[in-house]
Amino acid sequence: MTVPKAIDVISDMVRNSPNVIVGAGTVLDLETARRCLDAGAGFLTSPGLDLKIVEFAVKHDVLVISGAMTPTEVITAWQAGSELVKVFPCAQIGGPAYIKALRGPFPQVPLIAAGGVNHETAADFILAGAAALGIGGRLIPKAAIEQRQPERISELASRFLRIVQTARKKTLR
């Protein structure tokens, strides 16, 4: 929701990209969550734990990815119905080592490492036990949007995908 006219962007993407799952990020309140679903968002995510948003999404049978930083927030989000829990800001609070530490008591909770993830650290987060990565500006640079460079974004996404696939193969050994 930090993008100007984010609700309009969601609505436009849902209409014009039927093969893409469009979600809403940085959802900070219940009214915004409602507007995002009305625009067609397929999932909601927030940087922190807001139980009202989690309950709203669960009630409307929409995937919700709640943000959490502490172990208490992780388990609270999971128990409330957040199907994945986004550890944010992950790099700033310990990075891959923090994900690994959380995996100990919470092996059943799929954790998303978000905040500060880049090409250099992505594999480390997966190897530490992150189920997925939340990547913002490193995946969709402002300049690529302003200069209308979808191929640049596709290339960055492909690079991240290769990094994650390679790291996951290592975890299966």
Q: Which residues contact 6 (CB under 8 A, 6 or more apart)?
A: 24
Q: What is the mean pLDDT of residues 48-68?
A: 97
> CATH homologous superfamily for 71-171?
Aldolase class I (3.20.20.70)
If 0-12 CB within 10 Å is exposed, 13-18 middle and 19+ buried, where does residue 34 land?
A: middle
Q: What is the mean pLDDT of residues 90-104?
A: 97
What are the Cα distances from residue 87, in Å, to 5, 71, 107, 131, 142?
Answer: 26, 10, 14, 11, 23
pTM here is 0.90
Reported as a single tens digit per residue, the pLDDT across 102-152 is: 999 999 999 999 999 999 999 999 999 999 999 877 777 778 778 888 888
Q: Which two tokens stand for residue 43?
A: 């999932």
Number of other residues whose CB lies within 10 A of the CB of residue 63: 17
Task: Please tell me the chain's helix, strand, coil percentages from 3-state DSSP, rounded to the nearest 5.
Answer: 50, 15, 40
Reported as a single tens digit per residue, the pLDDT across 159-169 is: 999 999 999 99
